[in-house]
Amino acid sequence: MTSAVVPHPVSSIQGMRVTMVLPALTEATSPLFRPVKYALFPPLGLATLAGYLGDDDEVRIWDEHVQRLRLDDDRPDLAVIQPYITSARRAYELADAYRSRGVYVVMGGLHVTSLPDEAAAHADTVVTGPGEDTWPEFLADFRRGWPRARYHSTQRTLTDLPPVRRDLIDRRRYLVPNSIVVSRGCPHHCDFCYKDAFFAGGRSFYTQTVDAALAEIDRLPGRHLYFLDDHLLGNRRFAEALFAGMAGMGRLWQAAGTVDSVLAPGLLEQAVAAGLRSLFVGFETINGGNLAGQRKRQNIGRDYAAVVRRLHDQGVMVNASFVFGMDEDGPDVFDRTVDWAVEQGIETATFHIMTPYPGTGLYRRIAAEGRILHQDWDRYDTRHVVYRPMGMSARQLEDGYWRAYRDFYRWSAIWRGAATKPLPRDRLRHLTYAGGWKKFEPLWDLAIRTRQVTRVLPLLETLLGSYGARAAPKARPVEGPGSRRFELHG
């Protein structure tokens, strides 16, 4: 790989001072209110990169979602900034401020990979793609005083990764401090996903060795884990070996999987035996006609109601993801989706407005049709309409999105969802989990600000621990939208 060299005045830097920053979305820095989702997980990507630094380096990690960075007295040798698309403006503001003080700035991550030229206007070096091969190369060049302006990953391996620097993370600030990633990418290629752009030039799905993954799990205190992998079940051979190694550890964990992986014979049972208690599933749409256009082939022809039943029969909670605004969606999609999810007894749901991220196939298609409205990245947050929809107006789409959240998390809807459960304790658990997630957000905000959010972790472990203790009796099929086969995503 060739790239321009950025001369650095120091010929050899030992004992560097390094500041690593995850810039925050505007909403997460509000002095009035912050949703708990911004205090769920620590910045694991930065902590992973920090593992490549030397013992004599002084390293700090700042996650602005939980702690605002104060630049006044911060003069490191190196500033590392990882923006998301909706924090790009803040990331560039920080980068420009550091550079004005003579600090060398390197930027990487999803947004930088999608728009490297844009990021390069604010950084001395940009790193595109995953960083396991390019980050140590950059560090070696930087210490020699001759870092390049661009680095792009081509060698894709998780062999011999250094331990994640969890000592740099203030666990008190996060509800789920035990987050972990044991793979990279996903075997699927959906049109609206950043992954294809991020992993261009090399493998797009690969895993750690099972022994390395188990060793990382073993280093984590407590019982609860959250796998942040895009698709933990994507490599069956790896997943089965991992679950076999985790059996008997007494762990309780949550993860993400696809519709087809849930229906795969035997795999879910092995995950449950290893401690799986909650699964994020990308159903995405209840309109089968949307799937082919979004390349959601893993959902086509799948019975969504069967997926939910299978998870519930194994004692696994469902966190369902839905995307509104695909080309086949009309104004009725919001009510139909919420009704179906409530009737299935789905515990929690996340809704999104379809967002064409730069670098994705969706963006290229929508842009070619002249339907992109603007490039104000602050609004590319899946809560605002940034393109012209086909089946409804932008106002209808945005209003319907907010209505879906209100309707799904109404107490009446939570009660209806709980009533689908066969046993009283299952109903109580549904009420506690679904209600606690959305109905007590002011208390979550207080816990975040006072650094007491981890005190809620024992309650989460208790709830998760009561799942999966036995397979629930088979529920009667629910009549309505869930009784039909939907051709959807996972």
Q: Which pLDDT does position 159 carry in this prediction?
A: 87
Integer Cα distance of 129 and 107 in angstroms: 11
Edge-first strand order for the sheet with 104-108 is 58-63, 17-22, 78-81, 104-108, 125-128, 150-152
- Residue 6 confidence (pLDDT): 59
Strands (E), 172-294: 179-180, 183-185, 205-207, 224-227, 252-257, 276-284
Pure H helices in 6-109: 44-50, 88-100
At 412, the amino acid letter reads: S
Identify the three-state secondary structure at position 473: coil
Non-local CB neighbours of 376 within 8 Å, separated by 6+ positions:
386
Rounded to a whole number, what is the largest CA-CA distance in the chain?
71
Burial 419-450 (b: 16+ CB within 10 A, else e): ebbeeeebbebbbbbbebbbeeeeebbebbee
pLDDT value for 300: 42
Q: What is the pLDDT of residue 470?
A: 47
Query: How many angstroms separate the CA atoms of 398 and 385, rounded?
Result: 6
**SS3 call for 272:** helix
List per-block mean pLDDT (blocks of 10 residues) for the chain, which spans 490 residues. 53 79 78 66 94 95 88 91 94 96 95 95 96 94 95 88 93 88 81 73 86 95 92 93 95 92 93 95 77 46 83 93 92 95 95 93 93 95 95 96 96 95 86 78 68 70 62 38 31
Q: Are 44 and 228 spatial neighbours (Cβ–Cβ below 8 Å)? A: yes
Return the closest-CA partner of residue 356 out of 334, 331, 330, 382.
382
Helix (H, G, I), strand (E, B) or coil at 361: helix
Please choose, from the candidates 473, 453, 461, the residue with its C-alpha nearest in 3D space to the C-alpha of residue 38. Answer: 453
Burial of 95 (0-12, 13-18, 19+ CB in 10 A): buried
Give the pLDDT score at 3: 58
**DSSP 3-state assignment of 452?**
coil
Domains of the chain: 17-152 (3.40.50.280), 170-483 (3.20.20.70)
